Structure 1
Amino acid sequence: MTKQGIIERISAELSVKTANVTSIVALLEEGNTVPFIARYRKEVTGSLDEVVIRSIEERLAYLCNLEERKDAVIRSIDEQGKLTDELRDAILGASTLQEVEDLYLPYRPKRQTRATKAREKGLEPLAMLMLERQDVDGDIQEIAALYIDPEKDVSTADDALAGARDIVAEIVMEDAKVRAMARRHFREQGFLETTGAEAQDERMPEYEDYYDYGEQIANMPPHRILAINRGESKGALKVKVSRPDEVLLSAIRGNFVSDDNGIFKDQLDLAIEDGYTRLLCPAMERETRSALTEKAEDHAIGVFARNLRNLLMQSPVSGKVVLGIDPGFRTGSKIAVVDPTGKLLATAVIYPHPPQERRDEAERIVGDLVRKHGVNVITIGNGTASRETEAFVSEFIKNSAHGLSYVIVDEAGASVYSASDMGREEFPDLDVSVRGAVSIARRLQDPLAELVKIDPKSIGVGLYQHDINQARLGETLEKTVESCVNYVGVNLNTASAALLSYVAGISKTVAKNIVSFREENGPFESRAGLQDVPRLGPKTFQQAAGFLRIRSVEDPLAITPIHPESYDVAEAVLILLGSSPEDLLSPEKVTQLRRKLVDVDVKALSEELNAGVPTLEDIVDALRRPGRDPRAELPGPVFRSDVLSMKDLAPGMVVSGTVRNVVDFGAFVDIGVERDGLIHISEMSDSFVQSPHNVVAVGDVVRVKVIKVDSERGRISLSMRIRASDSGED
């Protein structure tokens, strides 16, 4: 397939205009990043979003790899002297890698098999007689006797027939059409059956639902596939694929047995049955399980990425002095106080819980820190001793006169950050455990800036995240973080190297160089100053500049996402409106500018300024809201001053909570007690819900009704189906 053919195929598959796909492919080949293309090349992309552009990027990579594989396969078969025009055309016409590999399978160099041994004994001609000369007359024993050769361990006619059957079995079961038919049959008609481990001590209660279980493969939901895989890997389950064999065997026979009266019919039947049981079924079972797992992993990775995006995009809480607590029992609860910019002000360790129970001392330490630093809010990590610490903080707030509130934050990954090179570089003199408290405090102020310091896989918002392909998971999550960072924008003068490394075009090395340059030379006064940073060349500047923000008189447009390449257009717009770039730094003048922009006719203005309509629309939007953080428009966290426990809950009670995780069967919500409650998908709406993700997202604040409390098992069932007759919020 030619490059143009690939472009046209992508265009058809994704329903995108060929001209737009052509432009995007050219931009990608020039080394442009997806965020840059999506934001700053809308005229040639047709304003396609990142999701579509990434799909084009992925399909382009797959189809180019497919063409390379076709060339390699054709070359290999040709070198063997077995390439026919028909086979070449079939390979060139294949639309997937699987089809190419099926066509190549009979010619792929193999280790020793029963069929290769039979060929070495000179039995291939007899095998071809079985397949091609299905005569109705003759004696197969006499025909087979012609191939007896004791020196090659073919002592009898039956030995010759057995070897020939091995060759036939391999030929039939490696036939591309047979494998495609079998693959379809297994996936559409197959059943996955599970049983518990035979040894009682290997059985695990969490998998008892699968001790005698079966389900049609085509209907299996992703989370069930991953649960079964995990049970199998732990030795708690045995898994097999069953299918209606006779239907498939009959179809295979129909392709190779042309005459039921042929003298080789019985031999062919034996060969096909043997090949089916010995070769095809094990291969198809492996393929089917692999395809099931891949499909489930794709879904799980998508769930993780969606949840991660929602977590990263939570509204920041600005202008607050925060006291963060990383709870603990024996080793104490670690405390860190940070100012509104995230700068560390103080640290401490308190022991309000058993075994020490130095509660009075803990209250005194917290009180001193609150008074000295003007703390506005306390954040508590949701790990070990979280609820005990919450009770302590709630009582402290009740007895104090500081007007404090507290928030429970997800501490997933805090320990990973604490022990990381990044954590050591940022706080070389702090104990590992105290670094976690700093992270917990900062997560409230700016979740995105803090969470980018942690390997995305360590942030617990996934579904069976440790059981799926870690390389694919990591790649997808990296792209998710990159998308969020570039959507929000980054303050060039305060961002960490970790945050800068996710900006389009900026590598980890360049990110460190930016921070070092900033520390040595002071804050950047303009985006153009980036070009003085070592190893930051013109291409990197082009890709990154628009996503970096500065508040500066020297470069007032840098407070917006307007790219430097469009400064002349933005300045022309401002001049036509009787304004100037410097006005963007004055709230009063921005208000006046916003009124003027209401009446702007973008289409007419684009013709006057010879600028593209999409770019001009983005410029007008940016001028209307300079310095805007898109996350600020989202709901903030739930601030609390008192605490609940499971014993305080009763069916019918209505409470507010924060969505912590969204999975296929529902959502887990923190309602301020020691366990998160579950809203099952059936309790999300009075109407049918296709997916929980269509209703809630990580970070959402929701009102829920308690429908069941199981204290013994630590389970809380919640519902979003709240009616006017239900009790008010408790």
Structure 2
Amino acid sequence: MDIIKTITEDLNIKQFQTENTVELLNEGNTVPFISRYRKERTGNLDEEKIRRIEELLKYYQHLEDYKKTVLKSIEEQGKLTYELKEKIINTKKMTELEDLYLPYKKRKKTNADKAIEAGLEPAANKVLLGNIKSLDELEEFVSEEYDNIDKVVEGISYIIGQTFAHNKDNRESLRKYYEKFGKIHSEKKKEFIEEATKYDMYHEFTQEISKIPNYRVLALNRGEKEKVLNVKLIIDDEWLDKEKTKYETGNEICDEIISKGLNYGFTNMLNPSIEREIRQNLTEKAEEGAIDLFAKNLRQLLLTPPLKNKRVLAIDPGFRTGCKVVVLDEMGNFLANDTIFPVPPQNDIENSEKIVMSLIQKHNINLIAIGNGTASRETQQFVVDLIKKNNLDLKYIFVDESGASVYSASRLAKEEFPEYDVTVRGAISLGRRIQDPLAEFVKIDPKSIGVGQYQHDVNQKKLKEKLDATVESVVNLVGVNLNTASYSLLEYVSGITSSLAKKIVQYRQKNGPFQKRADLFKVKGFGEKAFEQSAGFLRIIDGENPLEMTGIHPESYEPAEKLINILGYTLDDLKIKEKLDPLKLKVSQLLNEKENLKSISKELEIGEYTLIDILKELQKPGRDPRDEMPEPQLMDDILKFEDLKESMRLSGKITNITDFGAFVDLGIKENGLIHKSNLSEKFVAHPTDIVQINDIVEVEIISIDKSRRRIGLRLVSIQR
């Protein structure tokens, strides 16, 4: 099989794009580097396509290796025909290869294998041809093991059944029939029928396989795993009845034996095998969907805009142990901490106010961040009352606590704040999530961040790979400040390993800030390849060369400077606002002039894609793509569940998206749910087609379930 050609056809791209991308990957280049700095070679393939090429390359390489194993195994058995060899060599699917290999695969000896060993295969062939006119003709096949006609007939039926079950075309036919007409059925086990469980909706539940949504597959799997549900696939008798007619010989005696064999093969071998396979395929598809959704949600969360120039007072609420309070300056540096008890059981409002007011005044606080966990609403009430009572020009914001406890107990947190306990570290993490969400979230296992669906029920290896790739993608998209980034952020930069990231931080601590990207070569172990892969994603603000605060790669500094000269400016003009603004205007005009772009790219001897990227960087030098996202909502008043009424319209933020809808933070303890049917008047295939994490939305309350404290919403508009 020609792997390059197959991938090209699969992805509907040009062959040179596949060839060059595979070559670049084999040379040890990272996906972010290839997609950003090798566009001429890939024909401007995006990161998603490049990752897909990487996945398919691994899949087909594994398939080709397995083909060699299969061919060798069959050849050693002396059963490899030219026709079979050609089929194996040309197959492009692992399922097809497994079907072809099945009759020859080494396995535990079956009833059919024993019958074949006893010499009953010729008898089975006679029956299949309708050449047995009387059972007495089978007398010649009686042996010590099959010592009477009935046992011979049984052995023959086993052989017919196994042949039927192992036939590649039969397997593919049944597979398609299941996919088109099959249903999945579940019911609670006897011991749970009278007991209320979270799987009650799946008792005596049936749905077409072709229509079942991913989240429902995962729910059924979980119910089965927890031994509450029995789950099976069902089809009608039509498929088997139709197959039986193909084997009819018109000989009543033979047809009866054949029918018995086909029933045996279907019931004991073919159907269970295909059912397992389809269940596995459904699970893999559902897991892939859940993982993709998790990654999509995570990407949007990581792209949450930082609230810049905010001196933050962060509160990690708690009842018995009090609320941990920390103060952070604009750069996230820890300044002070204390503990207050404004909530039950102590309700020490007076002392809590004194402590908080002292911290606000001493450190010029301009934002309060409140963790959204236990005691958060009581803490919110305290903060709102404090703001109103003291007429403070302050706003507050809720921060999702997901993963904060994971970080606070981590080795990294202990290294950062060895003298403080987990509660103080947790509060610091909450405050920093507002100031620079990306820098803080990369310190936490993505699975703990709380934007997934059934994340504990999916393939953990695939989930980790996908989420790590997502974090890597966002970190490199945004870029990293080389002089402020933690090693936990640096290790996600293209080409930088965990050990290199630590060495960079150690070098910086010992020698002071980097003045230019090339200084990285002074870091022990930092070589040419690491520099090539990482340099463009690392930013130096106020460095020696103004290009170093952009995403322009050092390999393009020379053409970039020539380009600036062509436009009538110098490199130093990038540092002068009065000259930078007209330069940016010229750049914007040039981006719309296709003919000029072509001539300039030839003059500079660089590709058009590279030229366009340089121009976009000069258009907004040092830009942060997160600034284009909707800003988090800041609040100064309070709303309670009891204040809600149907038809009320509110503003909120999308905090999580599932297959069935989107959850909205309304500024109260309970999140509301916009079911996907209420996201638009038109049909919505998936909520992500309409909304994304961090979207600020206007919603209308359409239902309130007071007993379960659930809020049903309808989307009115999105603020983008």
Q: What is the TM-score with the length of structure 2 in the denominator? A: 0.96
Matches within 5 A, 1:651-730: 651-721=646-716
Q: Given residue 328 of structure 2, which amino acid in structure 1 is its aligned partner?
A: V
> 1:252 — aligned with what?
243
CA deviation profile, 1:87-121 (whole Å, cap 9, x unmatched): 10111121200100110011111013222333343
Counting matched residue pairs gives 713
Q: In structure 2, how many angstroms separate the alpha carbons of the residues matched to 1:467 and 1:697?
A: 23
Q: In structure 1, how many angstroms separate the alpha carbons of the residues matched to 2:353 and 2:346?
A: 14
> 1:24 — aligned with what?
21
Identity percentage over the alignment?
47
Matches within 5 A, 1:101-500: 101-131=98-128, 133-135=129-131, 137-143=132-138, 145-150=139-144, 153-200=145-192, 203-245=195-237, 247-255=238-246, 257=247, 259-261=249-251, 263-500=253-490
CA contact (8 A) 1:303 1:462 kept: yes
- CA shift for structure 1 position 138: 3.5
CA contact (8 A) 1:659 1:697 kept: yes
> 1:98 — aligned with what?
95
CA deviation profile, 1:490-515 (whole Å, cap 9, x unmatched): 00111111111111111111111111
> 1:624 — aligned with what?
619
Identify which of 5, 8, 12 aligns with 1:15.
12
- CA shift for structure 1 position 128: 3.7
> 1:578 — aligned with what?
568
Q: In structure 2, how many angstroms separate the alpha carbons of the residues matched to 1:203 and 1:18?
A: 59
> 2:597 — aligned with what?
602
> 1:728 — aligned with what?
none
- CA shift for structure 1 position 26: 1.0
> 2:593 — aligned with what?
none
- CA shift for structure 1 position 202: 7.8
Does the C-alpha gap of structure 1 residues 146 and 411 become closer, same or farther in structure 2, counting only changes over 3 Å?
A: same
- CA shift for structure 1 position 237: 1.9
- CA shift for structure 1 position 408: 0.7
Does the C-alpha gap of structure 1 residues 218 and 538 become closer, same or farther in structure 2, counting only changes over 3 Å?
A: same
- CA shift for structure 1 position 577: 2.5
- CA shift for structure 1 position 674: 1.5
113-122 vs 648-657, greater mean Cα deviation? 113-122
CA deviation profile, 1:400-426 (whole Å, cap 9, x unmatched): 243111101111111111111111121
CA contact (8 A) 2:130 2:250 kept: no
Does the C-alpha gap of structure 1 residues 202 and 454 become closer, same or farther in structure 2, counting only changes over 3 Å?
A: farther
Q: Given residue 717 of structure 1, which amino acid in structure 2 is its aligned partner?
A: G
Q: Given residue 292 of structure 1, which amino acid in structure 2 is its aligned partner?
A: L
The SS at the match of 1:206 is: coil
Does the C-alpha gap of structure 1 residues 305 and 722 become closer, same or farther in structure 2, counting only changes over 3 Å?
A: closer
Q: Given residue 201 of structure 2, which amino acid in structure 1 is its aligned partner?
A: D
399-408 vs 92-101, greater mean Cα deviation? 399-408
- CA shift for structure 1 position 599: 4.1
CA contact (8 A) 2:633 2:653 kept: yes
The SS at the match of 1:146 is: helix
- CA shift for structure 1 position 32: 0.8
Q: In structure 1, how many angstroms separate the alpha carbons of the residues matched to 2:67 and 2:443?
A: 42
The SS at the match of 1:264 is: helix
- CA shift for structure 1 position 704: 1.2
- CA shift for structure 1 position 329: 1.4
Q: Given residue 166 of structure 1, which amino acid in structure 2 is its aligned partner?
A: Y
The SS at the match of 2:97 is: helix
Q: What is the TM-score with the length of structure 1 in the denominator? A: 0.95
> 2:634 — aligned with what?
639
Does the C-alpha gap of structure 1 residues 453 and 66 become closer, same or farther in structure 2, counting only changes over 3 Å?
A: same
Q: In structure 1, how many angstroms separate the alpha carbons of the residues matched to 2:135 and 2:565?
A: 97
Q: In structure 2, how many angstroms separate the alpha carbons of the residues matched to 1:289 and 1:244?
A: 18
- CA shift for structure 1 position 228: 1.7
The SS at the match of 2:190 is: coil
687-696 vs 62-71, greater mean Cα deviation? 687-696
Q: Given residue 253 of structure 1, which amino acid in structure 2 is its aligned partner?
A: K
CA contact (8 A) 2:584 2:619 kept: yes
Q: Given residue 345 of structure 1, which amino acid in structure 2 is its aligned partner?
A: L
Q: Does 1:551 align with 2:541?
A: yes
Q: Given residue 409 of structure 2, which amino acid in structure 1 is its aligned partner?
A: A
Q: In structure 2, how many angstroms separate the alpha carbons of the residues matched to 1:204 and 1:83?
A: 57
The unaligned stretches of length 5 or more in structure 1 are 724-730
CA contact (8 A) 1:70 1:92 kept: yes
23-32 vs 194-203, greater mean Cα deviation? 194-203
The SS at the match of 1:465 is: coil
Does the C-alpha gap of structure 1 residues 722 and 76 become closer, same or farther in structure 2, counting only changes over 3 Å?
A: closer
Q: Given residue 33 of structure 1, which amino acid in structure 2 is its aligned partner?
A: T
Q: In structure 2, how many angstroms separate the alpha carbons of the residues matched to 1:64 and 1:251?
A: 39
CA contact (8 A) 1:526 1:552 kept: no
CA deviation profile, 1:518-570 (whole Å, cap 9, x unmatched): 11221111111112222222111111110000024423211000000001100
The SS at the match of 2:141 is: coil
Does the C-alpha gap of structure 1 residues 304 and 722 become closer, same or farther in structure 2, counting only changes over 3 Å?
A: closer
The SS at the match of 1:712 is: coil
CA deviation profile, 1:135-171 (whole Å, cap 9, x unmatched): 1x5333332x223232xx3221222221232222222
CA deviation profile, 1:583-640 (whole Å, cap 9, x unmatched): 2233333213213324433222112212111101111111121110011122111100
- CA shift for structure 1 position 251: 3.8
